[in-house]
Amino acid sequence: MNQKGLTPGEVLSLLDNAGLKNTPYEKVLSAMCTKPHPIALKAHMQFIESNLGDSGLFTGTKELEEKVINIMGDLMGDSQACGYITTGGTESNIQAIRTARNLAKKKHPNIVVPVSAHFSFDKIADLLGIEIRKAGLDNQFRVDTDSVENLIDDNTIALVGIAGSTEFGQIDPIDRLARIALSNDLFLHIDAAFGGFVIPFLDKKYDFDFSIKGVSSITIDPHKMGLSTIPAGGLLFKEESYLFPLEIDTPYLTIRKQRSLAGTRSGAAVAAAYAVMMHLGREGYKRIVDRCIKMTDTIVDGVRECGVQPLIDPVMNIIALDVPDLDEVRKKLRAKGWFTSITRDPSAMRLVIMPHLSEEILELFISDITSEISTLS
């Protein structure tokens, strides 16, 4: 650290230099985050000082958190759901499985997740000392429920279903998973980190949330398709008692107990989530999702003209494309400024069509990928 401080102007110019190295979202087709809604930014700044780790001092912010949880619970099929705003999908998944582990009290616990599960479950295995068993997928990249059943044993404490898988945007058969969970008396966690703010607004209806009996908890992230500021994740439980195994005594705070994994945590992100949800309402989110789906169709139709097929018809605004010479094509696209991503198995080009994109920019992408593919030797 410098002995003498810099002037604000000097510091701001250091920040500007760093900011210039960041990628603007314009040509990013690989990210699940996007530009937050302007009202989220405003709310974030207004509540920048508040710390929900010591919520007795910030009762107004705490009320906003309860309202956000009610709004998201209602969206997920149960307005009575309980929970809190986390730092993201990873914390939500950790906490849900921690609850399941603490309730089950097994010596060598395991959970069964689809092989398509987010890598946060590998962190969970390490952190919580739980064996993660990975179930296979069907030909549409949904979890194969026979594979799930075969992996369950006396030490299984929970099943996980994904509603909006990170790589394929696919929705697991949650109703069948719920029946398996109920008949084996298992906790069922649904990871809708991405899909939670997409699936309720699709024209096609999917059952994936608390409306299905047997669903115990849901991860749903405001900082992805919720258009809120980072860090905002959501963790919802069907029953308040599921929060009790997470409670820790906090003798020197204004509150008696804390249930979050983070100690000090952002009230700003909570205010931002509240603001954007109140402002957009279901109609606003539906407009945004409709637009992303329309752009998704534009890409799929465009690349089909040069012979490239999606691995599955996209369910939401995530596309996996079977591109020849994948590494080469991605490298060429990267040189033209495009950020694309990949799926692991099978290996394909993965595109996430977020609200920061536009039809115009996607026409440009289609033209670039078409010319790269047609010049492959």
Ligand X SMILES: *Cc1c(COP(=O)(O)O)cnc(C)c1O
Site residues for ligand X per CB under 6 A:
32, 88-90, 93, 118, 120, 162, 166, 191, 193-194, 221, 233
What are the structure tokens assigned to 298, written together? 């534009």
CA angle 361, 302, 327 (to 5 degrees): 80
State how far the alpha carbon of 73 is from the alpha carbons of 6, 70, 100, 210, in Å.
47, 5, 20, 8
Closest CB 233 distance from ligand X, rounded Å: 5
Q: Judged by CB, which is closer to ligand X: 78, or 167?
A: 167
State how far the alpha carbon of 34 is from the alpha carbons of 40, 81, 270, in Å.
12, 27, 17
Judged on CB neighbours under 10 Å (0-12, 13-18, 19+), 247 is exposed
Q: Judged by CB, which is closer to ligand X: 29, or 366?
A: 29
- Contact yes or no for 27/239 (Cβ under 8 A): no
- Sorted by sequence, the CB contacts under 8 Å of residue 215 that are 6+ apart come out as 174, 178, 188, 190, 209, 238
Q: What are phi and psi of 196, to 5 degrees?
A: -60, -35
Q: Judged by CB, which is closer to ligand X: 120, or 266?
A: 120
Q: Judged by CB, which is closer to ligand X: 25, or 244?
A: 25
Q: Judged by CB, which is closer to ligand X: 162, or 270?
A: 162
Closest CB 65 distance from ligand X, rounded Å: 17
Closest CB 234 distance from ligand X, rounded Å: 10
Judged on CB neighbours under 10 Å (0-12, 13-18, 19+), 335 is exposed
CA pair distance 364, 347, nearest whole angstrom = 24
Closest CB 88 distance from ligand X, rounded Å: 3
What are the structure tokens assigned to 283, written together? 């109609």
Q: Judged by CB, which is closer to ligand X: 114, or 366?
A: 114
Q: Judged by CB, which is closer to ligand X: 168, or 285?
A: 168
Closest CB 204 distance from ligand X, rounded Å: 19
Closest CB 201 distance from ligand X, rounded Å: 17
Could you tell me which of 46, 73, 25, 8 has the C-alpha nearest to residue 218?
A: 73
Closest CB 320 distance from ligand X, rounded Å: 14
Q: Which residue is nearest to ligand X (CB)?
A: 89
